[in-house]
Structure 1
């Protein structure tokens, strides 16, 4: 589905400037769940913004379904880390979720149906008329995920969406995301700096080193469906976690 080749990003016009992304190459298959793992400052968010067409790459190629990504594609949705800033506080939950659909040319009736289905999928049925500021942080992030689902994307990009949540809410949303991934047959590219989260969620984990380049590409053959207790007690989980931790520890410190 997604092919990235020799991708490079340098901020500014100085040819001697250090790259934020340097020679990144990888691919993502249809309906695959891929986590991109790396320490803070290694270029994970910059990479995701290039893949989404939000910022241009300096060089290299990004192909989605074989077509170059030069602007945000219509069948791609993005869930940001800072959910409180991505939601519009003067709009109700339902209007926040349906807001992007007007730009997709969806009829009012279809938009309402898609909004209701998305809110049901994230466990927010009955909260359509609430405002974001009336919800907890975990519920606000559910609204952001529902907005992405209502858009019916083929590929979902997520930039550390659970990083600022408490542990229990984070575990709940991880399981919710896996359920959504199965139900909606969507491809997921998920940024995180949490090793346990990457191993628990993914089919594959890409480890980035700074400046962002793929240092390791690891398959995660843990059985599905996954369980927060049973899966994390498996010897294979511990082995994968140790391997990824060792790879990150070898990264040079990001400036």
Structure 2
């Protein structure tokens, strides 16, 4: 089965369709409840691709389909978590109001919205923080609020644009483990964009390597055992092998046999 399908996607900015594209002939599929990481260097077109998937940009050609239905605008079954959590949260709203904000536009009744908000905050370890304001929280906690808001929306597909790039290494590891926990709990399909090789290997079922202009240069299946943890998984012999394979793909160099 296919949850999300990207078919020969192409995006060119400006009036000249023959100009250098930001995304070129991009095709891949994501299955239900699969965790796929998109790995690529800065400037390769990852964010443009993600905006097209989310219905925030219209492609120049090609198509994105969710449940076999073309995406022509933001789909109701999809949520997007941005990298810059400080700009995606409303500083004048409490944490619980930030989380419940999209539910009002989805037409969720107040009682149900309150319950979904409380559950989502508990899921990311922020139970009891609903009355606080974002500016009263650390960067890692603010990103938890952003993830909680997406979870409360109950999306079938969760898109994430380098969501942990702006936090320190320890907080990043904690958020990676948190994401894996909520992914199992909510059984959501996740498409996670990153430029961090270790993060991609640690999180994903599959890793797609993007080369500029954004097209799939390599697909790697990650067979590391689940559940995963920072010490055991990253100490697994296959972790180093996968990391080397992906690093070579990003550098466009062959992998030496060990």
Range into which the TM-score falls when normalised by the shorter chain: over 0.9
Cross-structure match for 1:97: 99
Residue of structure 2 in register with 1:26 after alignment: 28
Residue 187 of structure 1: how far off its partner (Å): 0.2
Cα offset for 1:97? 0.1
Q: How does 1:114-193 map to 2 (within 5 A)?
A: 114-193=116-195
3-state SS of paired residue (2:52): helix
CA distance in 1, matches of 2:17, 2:8: 17
Q: How many residues align?
A: 251
Q: Unpaired runs of 5+ in structure 1?
A: none
Distance 1:99 1:234 in 2: 42
Output aligned runs, 1:101-116, within 5 Å.
101-116=103-118
Looking at structure 1, the residues matched to 113 and 107 of structure 2 have their Cα atoms a distance apart, in angstroms, of 9
Q: What TM-score do you get using the length of structure 2 for normalisation?
A: 0.96
Give, in angstroms, the shift of residue 17 of structure 1: 1.7
Aligned partner of 2:85 among 83, 86, 90: 83
Distance 2:137 2:19 in 1: 43
1:73 to 2:75 alignment: yes
Q: Which of 34, 38, 41 is matched with 2:40 structurally? A: 38
Runs of 4+ in 1 over 2 A off after TM superposition: none
Q: 1:59 pairs with 47, 51, 61, which one?
A: 61
CA RMSD of aligned residues (A): 0.7
Secondary structure of 2:231 counterpart: coil
- Tell me the residue number matched to 2:256: none
TM-score with structure 1 setting the length: 0.98
Deviation at 1:247, TM superposition (A): 0.2
> Counterparts of 2:58 and 2:69 in 1: how far apart (Å)?
15
